[in-house]
Amino acid sequence: MPTELSSAAPAAQRTATARRLLMYPPTYVEVSCSINPWMQPHVPVDLERAQSQWAALRATYERLGHQVQIVDPVPGLPDMVFAANAGVARGDRALVSRFTHPERQGETEAFRVWFEQAGFGTVGVAGERNEGAGDVLAVGGVLLAGSGLRTTGPAHAELEAFFDVPVVTLELVDPRFYHLDTALTVLDDATIVFFPAAFSTASVARIDELFPAAIRVAEEDACAFGLDAMSDGRNVVLSDAAVGLHAQRRAAGFDPVGVDIGELMKAGDGATCCTLELHP
């Protein structure tokens, strides 16, 4: 594996690529437990508003030219709306997640059935604790994989063997950023944005080694779920509350597309958590 993936490309080279995305409607979304620091069961989710915000997010993806596929809602699984945690999908292979918390473990079978019915040739269920694309981000021919809070280190070896793709381990240390996609965004194959304090010192050094032009963000924007974003290589869909990060991405030649996801953020997740990219 190279020690450096590459530096950021000039703005003129930014090109949007249509993506195939999986989403799950917030039919039953609620905050009835507290499995991450953002969840406060005494602060209710406005279901009608959450559904409206989710529909606007889906419409934004479709307006940008992306294909969105929908999983039918399942009663009793309110966190399934965060489809990024369904698993990791590349080509005709899908590795379905094995969740940490009992509140989400019922999602594994529901997502396994969807992948099989969708025609994936090889569908496996993770043997190690692995929370899917929430902790696994593809960039430049490798997979960046989070560990330390939800997905385990041994799960990274399982990912590498299942997909035959190199995996770079990044240790998360701040419970507020419990999945990799809350602390780091892949903008394109040469550019990432991240919040350094979410990672161990060794992992920050590894990120700097691989991405010397990486964009560092302020805590305020990280806490506004600005890193929980979906990029198509030019357009970056993210929380409209992360105003500083909008400016940084625009300065780097990307087009930020702000969305209001305030009700979904009550569960501790943002735009990309609602979205599983089905990589070709």
CA distances to 13, 98, 127 from 148, in Å: 36, 15, 17
Residue 5 to residue 113: CA distance in whole angstroms: 36
127 CB neighbour count, 10 Å cutoff? 12
Residue 273: active-site member: yes
Instruction: Give the count of beta carbons closer than 10 Å to the beta carbon of residue 86.
Output: 27
Active site residue 274: no
What's the DSSP call for residue 279?
Answer: B
Strands 93-96 and 122-125: parallel
Q: Is 162 exposed, middle or buried (0-12, 13-18, 19+ CB in 10 A)?
A: middle
Sign of the C-alpha dihedral, residues 18, 21, 27, 33?
A: negative
Extract the tokens encoding 154: 């041994």
Q: What is the number of alpha carbons within 13 Å of residue 140 lying toward its C-beta?
A: 19
Rounded Cα distance, 245 and 178, in Å: 20
Structure tokens at 7: 């530096």
The closest of 174, 165, 173 to 136, measured between CA atoms, is 165
Catalytic residue among 66, 179, 246, 274: 179
Q: Which phi and psi angles does 139 have, rounded to 5°?
A: -160, 130
List 66, 156, 246, 273, catalytic entry: 273
3-state DSSP helix/strand/coil % of the chain, to nearest 5: 35, 25, 45
Only one residue has tokens 């992992």, namely 203
Supply the residues annotated as catalytic.
179, 273
